[in-house]
A and B are shown apart, each in its own frame.
Chain A
């Protein structure tokens, strides 16, 4: 379980997260929506310790992410992350991209790491691209490669930061399908997204962020059907 209490995050004097309380249970899929600049990406970065925080805490399975004594490199193995930009390692083949972290971080043998990589590449539908270099793959394929790379660490949680926003429209579907697949398999997921269809169909709950505040959180039926907050209403009327 991910447990966030009183989380505050500032960049200089700019308070980007203004006291967030949020729980994400095992097996749950949470979609995070909100205007650009409302702090959605920052929330994900804080959850896996890529950004320091100023107040409150985040616990992942009872481990405090920002605690001095926490081995954050170890913790991150539990938290797969997929970014807007896919960031494939350009000098490595698809197989090597995925096998690298299992080998050097999880200390698997080269063969084991490659087995894991093959399995995860097939998982995301790239079983026939093992030896391809990223520059020969489409954006959608590279994003699925990034998903496979994160899955190869056998994470318990997956954090998606607008995984489809940088893609050409015709490539969005294949990535959303992969995310849907993971959700069906029971992966715990936090998905920052602009894909309202995905948020509606796939998530158990939807969180709406407004200017650094968690304005409203609830099942998709509530957020999309009967939002209580005026801000939420306004945001959704604009995106439709």
Chain B
């Protein structure tokens, strides 16, 4: 029987953390991409607001925004096996994170659409643009520029919140660090390293956002 407890940090642990960071990154990228696309569609429905759909959707999205993510994760993870679709932690985590992201992005997207005033859209339509051409060539680029900072804020939040998927047993950064801490009893060093990893993921996103903002405002 090998003694694995209470051994110091080893080089192989670094690899373990890198792998975990990749998983954090992957689940974030996936849920942010899906959540953003969904969120834009939801934001558009909320803006159009003509259908009962908008009312219902608004309530559902409010729920996603207000119920603590950790509760959503556990509920979802335990709910799906009941209806006969057992999901692994990664799948459940991605779905919940994506829906949560979509709820946040929906508000941002609606704000973006509404930042483009009615007069601007009338001008576009008066040139013969169809509803969709106006949306694609006028509302989208102008709205995007005005809400980019808010969207970056959502993205950075979701990257951090992805740590909560660890409660389902998915070995991403936070979970990996807990495993290592238990074994090495060196919480300070390990958490510092993990912090640096999160920073390395988030920092470039913020920078790219700033760069785009600078480019667009000139």
Contacts and interface: CB of A to CB of B under 8 A. Distances in A.
A181 interface: no
Given A104-B137, A105-B133, A87 B120 contact: yes
Interface in A62-110: 73-74, 76-77, 79-81, 83, 85, 87, 89-91, 100-101, 104-106
Contacts, number: 56
Nearest to A75: B128
B129 A73 contact: yes
Interface stretch (B92-100, B138-146, B147-155, B171-179): B138-146
Given A89-B138, A89-B142, A91-B141, A101 B123 contact: no
B130 interface: yes
B119 interface: yes
B75 to A, nearest CB: 42
A146 B145 CA distance: 22
A48 interface: yes
A100 B122 contact: no
22 contacts: A48-B126, A50-B122, A50-B125, A50-B126, A73-B129, A74-B128, A76-B126, A77-B127, A79-B126, A87-B119, A87-B122, A87-B123, A89-B142, A90-B142, A100-B127, A101-B127, A101-B128, A104-B129, A104-B133, A105-B129, A149-B127, A153-B127
Interface of A: 45, 48, 50, 73-74, 76-77, 79-81, 83, 85, 87, 89-91, 100-101, 104-106, 146, 149-150, 153
Interface of B: 119-120, 122-130, 133, 137-138, 141-142, 145, 216
